[in-house]
Amino acid sequence: MMIESQPAQTIWQEFLDAAQPNLSKHVLETWLRPVHCSGAADGVVTLEVRDRFFRDWLNDHYADFIHDGLSRRMGHAVAIEWVINPDLRLPAPTVMADEESSLSQTAARAPVPAAAGPYLNRRYLFESFVCGPSNQFAVAAAKAVADKPGKAYNPLFLFGRVGLGKTHLLCAIGHEVLRTRADARVIYTSSEQFTNEVVNAVLSNKLEALHRKYRDNCEVLLIDDIQLIAGKERTQHEFFHIFNTLYDSHRQIVVTSDKLPHEIPDIEERLRNRFQFGLIADIQAPEVETRVAILRRKALDEAVDLPDDVAFFLAENVRSNVRELEGALVRVVAHASLTGSPLTVDYARQVLGDLLNVSAQRLSVESVQRMVADYFSLRVTDLKSHRRHKTLVRPRQVAMYLARKHVGASYPDLGTRFGDKDHTTIMSACKKIDGLLKSDGELRSQVADLERKLDVLP
Ligand code: ADP
Ligand code: MG
C-alpha cells in the first residue's frame, strides 16, 4: 500500500492522535486542530493555515515537533510546505453534505470527512459579529434575509474588501435560518466548490442531477466569493440557470464578493444584471471604536484579559483588515502566555514589530496624494496649491482626509506636505469630509472607491 495515496487530512488526523498525549488541550485545539493537510506527495506534506500569524506561530514553536511527528508517521523524512488559505474553515458540522444530512444528524464534533466540501464555520454567528457604522447596513440586510428568506431582498449581494467579515455574515445567515428551522435546506458553497461541482457534473454527464439538487433541495443558497466565477463560462452558465430556477420560486440567494458587480471582469452581462437587480450591501473597514469592540469581543470569547490600552494600541495600528487585527491579537496573547509576560503596550509593540513596520510602510502621504489626484484627473501640485477653485477644493479635502485617516500623519506634518498649509486647514478639511460623508451619497461612494484603491497600494 502506498501511504501517500491516503487522503492527506487522514495523515494529519493520525499525527494529531499520536501527538495528543504530549500536547496541552489548548495547543491542540487552538493551533493544531485548525491546520488542514491538503497534500502529501513526493516527500512534501502541505499544511494549510488561515493566516501568516498562525504559520509563524506554529513554525516558531512547533516546527520540529510537526516535522518529526509527520516524518515518523510517513516512515521517511518529509519537508513541510505551508500554504496560507484565508478561507480555511474550522472543522464544523456539515450543513448539507449532498442530499440528506441535516444539522441534527451530524451533531457537533462530527469527524470531518476527508474530502469534505465547505462548512458553515460554527463560530460565525450574528452574535459574534460586532456591529458598527461600517457594517450596520450589511448586518441589517443579512438579518432581514435570515429572518424571511426569499422575501426581503433577493438576491443579497454582500460586498467588501478582504478580511472585513463577508464570509462571517454569510455563515451567520445560514446558522440563523437553521436555528429557526432545523430542517431548512441551506446550501453553503464557495465559487470554487461550485465550479468543481459543475465540472464534475459535465464530465460524468450528471448535469440533470446537479440541477435537481438545487431545484429540489435548496431553499437558501449561500455562495462565497462569487467574483471568482469570472471567466468561467460554463460555471456561469449553470449558475445562471440555477439562479433563475431558485429566484423564480422565491428561494433566497446570497452571494459575497470583493468586487462590485460592475467591477467583476469577464462575467456574463445577464448575470451582472441579476446581481445589480438585488440589494447590494457593502461592508466598510471598521472605525477604530469598532476595531476595539471586535478585539474586546474576541478577548472575551477566548477568556483573555485584554487591557484597554493594549486594545487601543492594536486597533490604532492594525487598521484595514479584521482578519489581521485578530491575528495580531492572537499573536500577542500567545507570546505573552508562553513567556509569562504581562500583556502591555510595550510588549505588544515588541511582538508585532515587523507587522507594524510593514503596515506603516504600506502607505505614504505622497501615495495618497498621487492616487487622489489621479482619481479626480488633477495634478498633485493642484492638491498642494492654495487655489480655491471649486474643482480643486473638494479633492484636496478628500486627500487630506484620507491621508490623515490612513497614514495617520499628524496635522502639522500634513500641513507641510500639502504645500505648507496651517494645521488648522487640515483639521477643518477632515471635519468637513467627515460631516459630508453622512449626507452626501456621491462623496461617500468616491471615498469608498478611493479607500479600496488605497488598500492595494504598495
Ligand atoms: P472576508 O470573507 O470578508 O474576507 P471574514 O468573514 O473571513 O472576511 O472575516 C475575517 C475574520 O474577521 C473572521 O475571523 C471574522 O470572524 C472576523 N470579523 C470580521 N468582521 C468582524 C466583526 N464585525 N465582528 C467580529 N469579527 C469580525
Ligand atoms: Mg471570505
Whether residue 114 lies inside any domain: the answer is: no
The answer on 294 and 277 residing in a single domain is no
The finding on whether 89 has its CB within 6 A of some atom of ligand 1 is: no
Pick the atom of ligand 1 nearest to 170's CA.
Answer: 6
Using the mean position of ligand 2's atoms as its centre, give its distance from the Cα of residue 243 in Å: 21
The secondary structure of 108-162 as a DSSP string is TTPPPPTT------TT--STTSPP-TTTHHHHHHHHHHHHSTTTSSSSEEEEE-T
d(CA 14, CA 132): 43
* 152-167 residue pLDDT tens: 899 999 999 999 999 9
Q: What is the CATH number for 205?
A: 3.40.50.300
Q: Tell the residue number behind the cell numbers 504598495, with chain if given.
A: 458
Give the domain-ending residue among 329, 361, 393. Answer: 361
Whether residue 336 lies inside any domain: the answer is: yes
CB burial readout 238-255, b (16+ within 10 A) else e: bbeebbeebbeeebbbbb
Helices (H) and strands (E) in the chain, counts: 20, 8
d(CA 44, CA 47): 10
> Shortest CA distance to 167 belongs to which of 188, 146, 187?
188
Candidates 168, 191, 294, 301: which one to mutate for ligand 1, based on the most atoms within 8 Å of Cβ?
168
Pick the atom of ligand 1 nearest to 164's CA.
Answer: 3
> Shortest CA distance to 241 belongs to which of 203, 201, 184, 188?
201
Pairing, β 36-41 against β 44-49: antiparallel
In terms of phi and psi (left: phi > 0; alpha: psi -120 to 50; beta: otherwise), the region of 450 is: alpha
The answer on 332 and 388 residing in a single domain is no
CA angle 439, 262, 234 (to 5 degrees): 150
The finding on whether 298 has its CB within 6 A of some atom of ligand 1 is: no
* 367-412 residue pLDDT tens: 899 999 999 999 999 999 999 998 999 999 999 999 998 887 888 9
What sign has the CA pseudo-torsion 251, 257, 263, 265?
negative
The answer on 261 and 162 residing in a single domain is yes
- In angstroms, the Cα distances linking 17 to 32, 65, 68, 103, 143 are 11, 14, 14, 26, 40
Q: What is the CATH number for 347?
A: 1.10.8.60
Using the mean position of ligand 1's atoms as its centre, give its distance from the Cα of residue 203 in Å: 36
The pTM is what?
0.62
Per residue of the chain (458 residues), give pLDDT as tens: 334 446 788 888 888 888 887 777 767 777 788 898 888 888 889 998 877 767 877 887 788 888 888 888 888 888 888 888 877 765 433 343 332 233 333 333 333 333 334 578 888 999 999 999 999 999 999 999 999 999 989 999 999 999 999 999 999 999 999 999 999 999 999 999 999 999 999 999 999 999 999 999 999 999 999 999 999 999 999 999 999 999 999 999 999 999 999 889 889 999 999 999 899 999 999 999 999 999 999 999 888 999 999 999 999 888 878 999 999 999 999 888 888 899 999 999 998 886 775 555 567 899 899 999 999 999 999 999 999 998 999 999 999 999 998 887 888 989 999 999 999 999 999 999 999 998 998 999 899 889 877 765 54
Whether residue 117 lies inside any domain: the answer is: no
> Shortest CA distance to 113 belongs to which of 127, 128, 101?
101
The answer on 140 and 255 residing in a single domain is yes
The finding on whether 93 has its CB within 6 A of some atom of ligand 1 is: no
3-state secondary structure of 416: helix
The finding on whether 165 has its CB within 6 A of some atom of ligand 1 is: yes
Pick the atom of ligand 1 nearest to 326's CA.
Answer: 12
The finding on whether 291 has its CB within 6 A of some atom of ligand 1 is: no
Candidates 85, 158, 164: which one to mutate for ligand 1, based on the most atoms within 8 Å of Cβ?
164
d(CA 152, CA 144): 6
Chain CA centroid to CA 378, Å: 34
Candidates 288, 322, 329, 452: which one to mutate for ligand 1, based on the most atoms within 8 Å of Cβ?
322
Query: How many CB atoms are located within 10 Å of the residue 431 CB?
Result: 12
Given a contact cutoff of 8 angstroms between Cβ atoms, the answer to whether 185 and 174 are in contact is no
Ligand nearest to the CA of 142: 1
The answer on 342 and 314 residing in a single domain is yes
Quote the domain boundaries for residue 73.
8-92+102-109
The finding on whether 129 has its CB within 6 A of some atom of ligand 1 is: yes
Total domains in the fold of the chain: 4
